[in-house]
Structure 1
Amino acid sequence: MKSFRFRLTVIMLIVIGVSVLAAGITMGQIFKNSNMKVLEENMGREIDLLRATFPFVNTDPLSSTDYISYYSEKAKEIARLTQSRVTFIRKDGTVVGDSLSDPRKMENHASREEIQQASTEGIGRTIRYSETLKRNMLYVAEPVVSDKGFDGYIRLSMNLKTVEEGIQRGWMAIGIGLVLLFLAAGLVSYRIARGLTSPIEHITGVANRISGLDYDARVGVQRRDEVGQLGEAINRMADSLQNQMKTIRDNEDLLQSVMSNMTGGILMIDAEERIALVNRESERMLGVAGKRVTDKPYHELKKHYELTKLIEGSIQSREKLHGEVHLYNPEERLVLLDGVPMYEDDGGYRGMLFLLQDITAIRRLESMRSEFVANVSHELKTPIAAVKGFAETLLGGGVKDEETSRSFLQIIYDESERLNRLIGDILELSQIESKRSSLDCSPIHVSSFIESLLEKLNNVAAKKRITLHMEIPDELYMEADEDKLQQIFLNLLSNGINYTLDGGKVKIKVVTVQRDHDTERVVFTVSDTGIGIPKKDLPRIFERFYRVDKGRSRNSGGTGLGLSIVKHLVDLHHGTLSVESELGIGTTFTIELPLLQQEE
């Protein structure tokens, strides 16, 4: 736009410059012609004056030499008065007197332009370069006929140097005036051009900003002409674009929010078999970055071979897809894949849309449910079979010995107790897992609490000569659900006693630690000198019905649910549970609980 303004200014200056120059030349020429006209008229009046007052003489009483001398002397006198060259010329062109040169040496002037013009028109005028004076001269001649016998011409000539100098000064004055006028015209032209181009330049800048997605840009031109109407049209267009873009952005934000927060993965393959869209959940499942694979061929997912083959088949057939695939990223995942072809309203194919749902947890829960049912059935079947068998034996009357009968009844009682514990543990675990179990927290004096638990277990420990030891600060209080806390430590301490050989030791130690954000935690350590747990079994000991030594666990009366219940109760208290063990040396369970429970 600035170049346009420059070109417009230059064009205006050229037009103005040509006009001013033409006017200057015309004025100069008029000035020159006017000066020459005035000068010629003055010289003509001087000749007229000479014609009336000059004392002409006849050639008869004078010799030729005296005649020439007379007119030459008179010419010189007149020249001093008129500041011009004076020449007397006879009718035949002979010069008889001149104020500057000797007439006898001057050639005949009958052919001179001013003499010929004077003879025909009564006055002759011409400008000619004088070989005698070596300069431009203005010649004015008129015919003169005197009653004294002179018949010829009087010619006045004037050096044009003074006139030319005057004209030069005039030209200089005109030139200076023209330059000043040109500068003024240039300034005015620039202001006019700026006034014409500035609004357009402003409108162009606003249009460029709008094209650069700056929809807040507006034209501030307040005019009622065509430029103002153009500005108003640009503003209306910007308002419309801004409203449309706001609607588009709102829709995009909403769509992006939906895509980002979907629990399922979305994978879109366009008609050119390129990845058009990958949402956050797909990135997580596939282990890819959306920015890196978008607009790339779907074969970029080649590390998921099974998935790629299913996508390839669906794209080639352009039919709906429903199937399950295994993904490894790096752990194994089971993903349900649904695909549908996408078509435009006119029937044009746009690609395939795939929905990925991680069903690993669902399948694991289904497996756990099946395993749980199988374990419960097995665990219930064993005591029921024993009760049924011994009861049938007693009812059949096959046992006559009272001591044997009593032994059978004791077995039936023990198995029924075990069955009762099993059902109780199942109900307890079910209640915890279904979130129906809530905490009823109260302040607990830890030392007194643990001491009461050890008293309950003293008799069982004494039978195996196992020493129970505790190391707990006397002043320690914490906030927890006392019943659930009791259930946690009774399970752990009972396991420690059950799996520790005679003469061993079970110890519980309690300390407080300071964690991040100034939160205090209570750390419980329950250790024994028992048989230990193999390393391969450590990751699974908190699973339901998992037993390291199934025969020994059943003989000890365990249900296989104790540690699972402990894990859930610790989680309910917002705590952590870990285990360390070495075969033949012992096992240590570490529980870390908050000193104060947070309100929910």
Structure 2
Amino acid sequence: MNSFRSRLTLIMIGIIGLSVLASGLLMAQMFKQNHIQALEESMVREIRILAAGMKWESADDNMTAQFQYYSQVASDMKRNADSRITFIRTDGVVLGDSDHDPHTMDNHKSRKEVAKALSGDIGSSIRMSDTTNQNMLYVAMQVQADQGPYIIRLAMSLEDVEQSIRNLWTALIVWLLVLFLVAALISYRVASGMTRPLEQITKVAKRIQRQEYIARVTVKKQDEIGELGYAINAMADSLQVQMERIRQNESQLESVLDNMINGIVMIDVTGHIVLLSRRAEDILGFTSRELVGRHYSDARQQHELTSLIREAFEKQSYIHEEMTFYYPEERLLELNLVPVMQDNEFVGILLVLQDVSAIRRLERMRSEFVANVSHELKTPVAAVKGFAETLLGGAVKDEETTRSFLQIIYDESERLNRLIGDILELSKIESRRVPLTFSPVEMQSFAAKTVQLLEAEAARKSIRLDLIAEGDIYVEADEDRLRQIMMNLLSNGINYTPEGGKVTVMVEPVWPASVSPYALSDETRDDYERIRIVIKDTGIGIPKKDLPRIFERFYRVDKARSRSSGGTGLGLSIVKHLVELHNGTIAVESEVGVGTKFTIEIPVIHP
């Protein structure tokens, strides 16, 4: 913008300078012409005066006498006229000259001013004199004498005129320089007044280009540039509002995409990926930086997905498919490929990815649950029905057989009752319809009472129950549900431990990782955040392949042994859900033939 201002200033100075220079040239030329014209008129008057008072010699006199006479007259007249005077005959012979000897002078008939005077007009010319070596103004006029016509020529040096012209040019140059300075100052101020607002408008436009939409032009004048400033400000206001709207829409769209449970992949008509949501990154195992801008075939995914996308591009129609992915982990995905149309023109494919692994797993678990419940209910119902039919068929007459059958019917009814009770209990726990009443529980006495409840059952199998618990260990828990957790685990330990075995219960505090148990003081001993309950037996153990599934409903490692022990297959599932309701964790370690250890950790205080 500074260069523009400089160019504008130079242009204005140039225009002014050229105008002044042209005016000066014209004025000097007119001055010279007027001055010369005035001189000519004055010289004509002088010639007429000289001719009126002139005494002409007879033409019969010899030439020498005429030369002397006219030369003398010319010299005398020069003192009054202050001009060079020349007397010339009509044949061009110079009779006398005030400055030179006529004998040495050329014939002047061909001279421009003389030739014109011979024709009857007043002749004038300007040329360099051969004798004086100066620019001279010559004026010649034909005069009539008694002896015939003569030519009187006056010559005057133009040195004074040229000096006047030089003085005029000196003054003109000085004034031109002064005018240049004044014009430069005025032009700079005018250019600044024009360019400074343009400069500001340009800066504001560049800031708007850099997305600084708060930039505004300060308008000081209500001229065309001011109108331009108002237009720029209005444009900036409109852009700011529109960009704010766009940012809000982008933010909302980004928030929606980032929080969607489904993955979104947008592929343009050329097959290049233009959008990849955060959930799609998790599902596909690639980041946006790795895939956006690249062709979909560059994604190192399984061939089936690439083929499905290619088919969607070929058909340009909706495609729904379920596919198992093995990278980055095994999962079942529901794929929906939707063609994107704009103004009835195909512009790309929208790929919606939904992880249905959990849904399908729940559906499978529900089917298995229904099948297991049906199977578990069918067994005792069939037993009750069978023995009842036997009794109705006549076996009731045998008292011993009747008592045996009725006992079986009773046991199966009890088993059926326990099964239904466990199913209802698990249903309430899973739906979180079991209100927990938290209160402080002193773990040493609590664990002792729980162990005491199962001592008789353990004694029947000669199983020893050991309790290891420190005093003054407290936890905030629902006492009834906590006892249900421990009794379920203890019962399992007793049931699956051979005679003469051992089941151990251990309760201990858990300190933060930054605290060393060996450096505890009386002040820090009560600063534990969690408690740990460990129930360990010396039973038959659980195979490693079954460990991940033991908390599933109706899952049994040894189905025959579980059924004979009266288990429903729901105990560990109930335990897991109750531990989670206490915001705790449960883990299991087991080795076949050595035993099993369940570890439960529960926070001391619940939010």
What TM-score range do you get, normalising by the shorter chain?
A: 0.7 to 0.9
Matches within 5 A, 1:114-133: 114-118=113-117, 124-133=123-132
- Distance (whole Å) between structure 2 residues aligned to residue 113 and residue 465 of structure 1: 159
Matches within 5 A, 1:395-434: 396=395, 416-434=413-431
- Residue in 2 that maps onto 1:509: 507
Counterpart among 590, 593, 598 of residue 599 in structure 2: 590
Matches within 5 A, 1:527-546: 527-546=536-555
Matches within 5 A, 1:189-228: none
User: Is the alpha carbon distance of 1:9 and 1:453 closer, same or farther for their aligned partners in structure 2, counting shifts above 3 Å?
Assistant: same
* Offset of residue 30 of structure 1: 0.6
Query: What is the CA deviation profile of residues 265-293 of structure 1, one whole-angstrom value per residue up to 9, with x for unaligned ones?
Result: 55667777776766555554444556766
User: Is the alpha carbon distance of 1:188 and 1:537 closer, same or farther for their aligned partners in structure 2, counting shifts above 3 Å?
Assistant: same
Aligned-partner residue type, residue 484 of structure 1: R
Tell whether 2:31 aligns with 1:34.
no
* Offset of residue 371 of structure 1: 1.7
Query: What is the CA deviation profile of residues 473-519 of structure 1, one whole-angstrom value per residue up to 9, with x for unaligned ones?
Result: x3332222222222222223333444445253514131222269x99
Unaligned runs of 5+ in 1: none
- Matched residue count: 590
- Distance (whole Å) between structure 2 residues aligned to residue 265 and residue 96 of structure 1: 125
Provide the secondary structure at the position in 1 that maps to 2:511.
strand
- Residue in 2 that maps onto 1:563: 572
Provide the secondary structure at the position in 2 that maps to 1:523.
strand
Contact 1:334/1:358 (<8 A) preserved: yes
Matches within 5 A, 1:236-385: 261-264=259-262, 281-287=279-285, 303-307=301-305, 321=319, 323-337=321-335, 356-383=353-380
Contact 1:5/1:197 (<8 A) preserved: yes
Aligned-partner residue type, residue 24 of structure 2: G
- Residue in 2 that maps onto 1:488: 485
- Distance (whole Å) between structure 2 residues aligned to residue 223 and residue 3 of structure 1: 23
Contact 1:69/1:97 (<8 A) preserved: yes
- Distance (whole Å) between structure 2 residues aligned to residue 250 and residue 185 of structure 1: 55
User: Is the alpha carbon distance of 1:85 and 1:325 closer, same or farther for their aligned partners in structure 2, counting shifts above 3 Å?
Assistant: same
Deviates more, 1:561-570 or 1:319-328: 319-328
Contact 1:513/1:520 (<8 A) preserved: yes
Provide the secondary structure at the position in 2 that maps to 1:509.
strand
* Offset of residue 433 of structure 1: 0.3
Contact 1:90/1:150 (<8 A) preserved: no
- Distance (whole Å) between structure 2 residues aligned to residue 489 and residue 50 of structure 1: 158
- Residue in 1 that maps onto 2:100: 101
Aligned-partner residue type, residue 560 of structure 1: G
Contact 2:490/2:503 (<8 A) preserved: no
User: Is the alpha carbon distance of 1:519 and 1:114 closer, same or farther for their aligned partners in structure 2, counting shifts above 3 Å?
Assistant: farther
* Offset of residue 203 of structure 1: 8.0
- Distance (whole Å) between structure 2 residues aligned to residue 193 and residue 389 of structure 1: 115
Deviates more, 1:229-238 or 1:546-555: 229-238
Query: What is the CA deviation profile of residues 214-251 of structure 1, one whole-angstrom value per residue up to 9, with x for unaligned ones?
Result: 87777877888888778877877777777777777766
Contact 1:138/1:159 (<8 A) preserved: yes
User: Is the alpha carbon distance of 1:5 and 1:508 closer, same or farther for their aligned partners in structure 2, counting shifts above 3 Å?
Assistant: same
- Residue in 2 that maps onto 1:575: 584
- Name the TM-score, length of structure 2 as normaliser: 0.75
Contact 2:473/2:508 (<8 A) preserved: no
- Distance (whole Å) between structure 2 residues aligned to residue 31 and residue 504 of structure 1: 140
User: Is the alpha carbon distance of 1:122 and 1:327 closer, same or farther for their aligned partners in structure 2, counting shifts above 3 Å?
Assistant: closer
Aligned-partner residue type, residue 466 of structure 1: R
- Residue in 1 that maps onto 2:524: none
- Name the TM-score, length of structure 1 as normaliser: 0.76
Aligned-partner residue type, residue 166 of structure 1: S
* Offset of residue 572 of structure 1: 0.9
Query: What is the CA deviation profile of residues 121-154 of structure 1, one whole-angstrom value per residue up to 9, with x for unaligned ones?
Result: 585432222222233222344567899x999565
* Offset of residue 355 of structure 1: 5.4
* Offset of residue 350 of structure 1: 6.6
- Distance (whole Å) between structure 2 residues aligned to residue 182 and residue 344 of structure 1: 65
Tell whether 2:532 aligns with 1:523.
yes
Provide the secondary structure at the position in 2 that maps to 1:447.
helix
* Offset of residue 569 of structure 1: 1.2
User: Is the alpha carbon distance of 1:139 and 1:298 closer, same or farther for their aligned partners in structure 2, counting shifts above 3 Å?
Assistant: closer
- Distance (whole Å) between structure 1 residues aligned to residue 339 and residue 53 of structure 2: 126
Contact 1:28/1:174 (<8 A) preserved: no
Query: What is the CA deviation profile of residues 322-362 of structure 1, one whole-angstrom value per residue up to 9, with x for unaligned ones?
Result: 5543333344433445566677787x667776655443323
Contact 1:505/1:529 (<8 A) preserved: yes
Query: What is the CA deviation profile of residues 162-181 of structure 1, one whole-angstrom value per residue up to 9, with x for unaligned ones?
Result: 43233233234335545665
- Distance (whole Å) between structure 2 residues aligned to residue 168 and residue 475 of structure 1: 124
- Residue in 2 that maps onto 1:165: 163
Query: What is the CA deviation profile of residues 395-421 of structure 1, one whole-angstrom value per residue up to 9, with x for unaligned ones?
Result: 8258666xx988877766655554444
- Distance (whole Å) between structure 1 residues aligned to residue 50 and residue 76 of structure 2: 12
Aligned-partner residue type, residue 568 of structure 2: T
Tell whether 2:439 aligns with 1:442.
yes
* Offset of residue 568 of structure 1: 0.8
Contact 1:72/1:96 (<8 A) preserved: yes
- Distance (whole Å) between structure 1 residues aligned to residue 268 and residue 84 of structure 2: 107
Aligned-partner residue type, residue 104 of structure 2: K
Aligned-partner residue type, residue 128 of structure 2: Y
Contact 1:570/1:576 (<8 A) preserved: yes
- Residue in 1 that maps onto 2:138: 139
* Offset of residue 596 of structure 1: 1.0
Contact 1:491/1:562 (<8 A) preserved: yes
Aligned-partner residue type, residue 36 of structure 2: M
Contact 2:90/2:118 (<8 A) preserved: no
Aligned-partner residue type, residue 532 of structure 1: G
- Distance (whole Å) between structure 2 residues aligned to residue 57 and residue 392 of structure 1: 189
